[in-house]
Amino acid sequence: MDYKSLYKDEDFGEILFNQLLKDYTTWGIGGPSDVLVKVKSKEQLQNLLQFNHKNNIPTTVIGRGSNLLVTDKGIRGCVLLLADNYDFISVDGNKLTAYAGCKLNSAALFAIENFLTGMEEISGIPGSVGGAVAMNAGAYGKEIKDLCLSVNAFDYFGNEYNFTNDQMNFSYRHSKIFDDNLIVSSATFNLTYDENNEAKAKYEDYTNRRASKQPLDKKSAGSTFKRPEGSYASKLIDECGLRGYAVGDCAVSQKHCGFIINKGNATSEEMLKFIDHVANIVYEKTGFKLEREVKLIGEK
């Protein structure tokens, strides 16, 4: 398909071709996209989805590229990027609305600047509001479901939906977004007025905790595995003597065993094999089955 001719007269924001997706993922892994589009508004997002559907072009959404392992062959069709190009934030009273591409950290800081509290615990989760809402991300005892008031979303035909918290089917690392194959456009969070001016100190405390415990300076996708019932992935991996264990450029972090890092130029195939290898060792030694939390996307 001649994508350059097909998209040349369309106004969907910034349209790029043959982009290496390793440049758009926190793991630094991923082959080329046929088309990559950076929409700038909800109208452009809806128009792009309708256009792709009409022209039978598959659409794949990525946010800030965390929690993703893109295959070495890349992604066929159109990659819809929701990152800095789609990160508007606003506050109305104690309600904060953030577009899908907004960093959770930016949303938390914006809340603090507007004398609101509630997002400090989740402020250090890597990635975007859209991805966090889709997977009901959480940290330090708080999840998106505890804060989310409503979600604006689209399906891949370009139809728009609005959901309340109760309609989102939030559960551990799961939501209606996955159930119905939807795309988060924005989310509104119900926060609390920071009457005692404590939010900044709490934010700094959680930020320092993460910096001391997590390999924030390394290329990772965040936590690699889901939490197994009855234990923790990082604890099990450490108990199996795998702290710092490496094969090529794939390695278990020395700082936090729940993070698998790319030390240089690991491929998707290498990383996937390494993840499975670590999980197999843990299963053989402990009986716990580790399930990959990181989502694999792209041409197999």
Active-site positions read 173, 223, 293
DSSP calls for 104-125: HHHHHHHHHHTTEES-TTTTT-
- For residue 152, give Cα distances in angstroms to 98, 192, 241, 245: 10, 21, 44, 42
CA 168, distance to chain mean position in Å, is 17
Q: Which helix (H) or strand (E) is 148 found in, with range? A: strand 148-154
Q: What is the identity of the amino acid at 255?
A: K
* CA pair distance 152, 130, nearest whole angstrom: 10
- In three-state secondary structure terms, 203 is helix
* CA pair distance 298, 72, nearest whole angstrom: 8
* CA pair distance 148, 145, nearest whole angstrom: 5
* CA pair distance 226, 292, nearest whole angstrom: 6
How are beta strands 68-70 and 295-297 bridged, if at all?
parallel
The conformation of residue 270, written as its DSSP 8-state character, comes to: H
* CA pair distance 27, 69, nearest whole angstrom: 7
What would the two tokens of residue 257 be? Answer: 């065993």
* CA pair distance 192, 102, nearest whole angstrom: 20
Residue 217, judged by CB atoms within 10 A of its CB (0-12, 13-18, 19+), counts as exposed
What would the two tokens of residue 202 be? Answer: 């709490």
